[in-house]
A and B are shown apart, each in its own frame.
Chain A
Amino acid sequence: MSRAAGAFEHWACIYDDDSQFLDTAVPFLAGGLALGEPVLAVTTPANLELLGAALGEPSGDVDYAESAFFGRRPPRRVAAFYRYWKAGQGSPRGGRVRVLAEPVWAGRSAREITAWTRMEAALNVTLASTSISMICPYNARITDAGILADALRTHPVQVAGSRRSPSPQYADPAAFARSCDTGPLADPAGGAETFHFDGDLRALRRFIVGSAGAHGLAGDRAEMLVLAVSEVGAYLKSRWPASATVRTWEQPGAVVCDFRQPGASISDPFLGLRPAELVPGDGDGLWLANQICDWMDIRSDAEGCTIQLQVPSSHDQEMAAQPGIRYPA
């Protein structure tokens, strides 16, 4: 296994009990600590306790987070991993960083499971330039067989204890991600506010300000939605003669903003997932939109492309209770 800097390593660990989890996780984390590498454990509270007890005193040097809160949505998770890696640069080991990253599956909707599985495939591309070694534990006791099977398709290597083996089922990440993008997008059951976007971003922003207000979104929630929507408009405008139909509506749990641009086609399944840097990159604005929104879905067909954003509706009480949870204050 190459250990060169700039080589992302992404291993799946499917475990059946606590001892199997610890057999893989402990040597991985302890090995990083021994080498002076930044080490991060993102897993369930139960597994964090197990790790603390098993690692003993050195566990105090392990950075940790509960899975549910380290990147609340897949795009934020990718960004959180990337940020951790960047913060660890300058360490003596050529920037190698170890991350134990257990996704949460229990209680998720089918749509969310697809999104998190898709993210596992995307990590192989979007973090390819980093020198992160990542083990993703999957708890076979409580995880559906289909999710476990996909873990072998989204991770090039399986690991059990200190034994690593290539995953024969590993799938091309782009092809895998595209296979996740087949579900229908939301459509308004009732009416939608409609706006014709001809390239005038200020007019687009005025439309979305009004629409946000009509759905009870104010303050930061409205401002951030305006940012996301305007970045999508700017992206479309930069590539095609802008002539998009923009529709907004509210549905249970979300305010939706849907762009339909005839004649456009987006083939990059990882657009909007590569972290933005101070050096400009393709799709940086979409990356920001993806960070702001709960969902950014992109679909292309023979007639054009659709970019659909969803943000929490005004009825979301999590943001009411903790305004900084999505938009860091």
Chain B
Amino acid sequence: MTSDCVVYDDGVLRITNTDDPPGVAIAGEIDESTYDGLIGALGRFAHGPTEVHVSMGGVSYCDLAGLRAIVCVTGAGGGADGRGDGGTRRLVLHELPPQLASVLRIVGWDSTPGLAMDQRPGPAGAPRSSRQGSMTR
């Protein structure tokens, strides 16, 4: 049984928790103004499950700091908030927008241990907001 609940929504960024499997669905724009909301939502994974699914299909903008925080859910770099449990967990990014996949490759984080991409929709099933999609398309 999956119970979705909105854990962050400031009108620019909306993050929905999913329980089975553990994860979040992210929609909207991630930059310094929404960064704290992202960190707060990812914080619950720092000492938690061994596998996390993040649905990225609704992300229309994500800066490098935000992408780092998401990648660090794997436990690399000290976790999303830099204070993780030091463990390694599997992180599956669903529907990663192509420009963010490019950034991952440019910066070399695509080879972070535990990180996997899946172009299929994530299990979140959260209702898509009008904020989904890209900046330009």
Contacts and interface: CB of A to CB of B under 8 A. Distances in A.
- Main secondary structure, interface of B, reads helix
Contact of A329 (B12, B31, B72, B102): B102
19 contacts: A201-B32, A201-B33, A202-B12, A205-B29, A212-B136, A224-B99, A224-B102, A227-B99, A230-B31, A234-B31, A277-B77, A278-B76, A280-B68, A284-B65, A288-B103, A288-B106, A291-B107, A329-B101, A329-B102
Contacts of A202: 12, 29, 31, 33
A288 B64 CA distance: 8
A20 B50 CA distance: 56
A136 interface: no
Contacts of A288: 64, 103, 106-107
A209 to B, nearest CB: 5
Given A227-B63, A238-B32, A278-B76, A220 B99 contact: yes
Interface string B109-120: 100100000000
Interface string B91-104: 00000011101110
A277 B67 CA distance: 12
Nearest to B12: A202
A140 B105 CA distance: 36
Nearest to A217: B136
A71 to B, nearest CB: 12
Interface string A60-86: 000000000000000000010001001
A237 B12 CA distance: 19
B99 to A, nearest CB: 4
A208 to B, nearest CB: 9
A226 B102 contact: no
A246 interface: no
Q: Which of A202, A275, A278, A280 has the most CB of B within 10 A?
A: A278
Given A202-B29, A284-B65, A222 B136 contact: yes
A278 B63 contact: no
B64 A223 contact: no
A219 interface: yes
Q: Which 9 A-B pairs have the closest CB atoms?
A: A278-B77, A223-B99, A328-B105, A222-B136, A327-B102, A288-B64, A291-B106, A201-B31, A278-B76
A280 B32 CA distance: 14
B61 interface: yes
A302 B109 CA distance: 39
Contacts of A279: 77-78
A196 B106 CA distance: 30
Nearest to A278: B77
A276 interface: yes
B77 A219 contact: no
Interface string A195-226: 00000011001000100110000111011101
A284 B64 CA distance: 8
Given A220-B102, A230-B63, A278 B29 contact: no
A329 B97 CA distance: 11
B71 interface: yes
B61 to A, nearest CB: 6
B1 interface: no
A292 B106 contact: yes
A231 interface: yes
Interface in B10-64: 12, 29, 31-33, 61, 63-64
A95 interface: no
A173 interface: no
Contacts of A224: 99, 102
Contacts of A226: 61, 135-136
B64 A222 contact: no
B132 interface: no
Given A226-B61, A230-B61, A234-B31, A218 B98 contact: no
A322 to B, nearest CB: 14
A86 B111 CA distance: 11
Residue of B32, B61, B71, B135 most packed against chain A (CB within 10 A): B135
Contacts of A230: 31, 61, 63
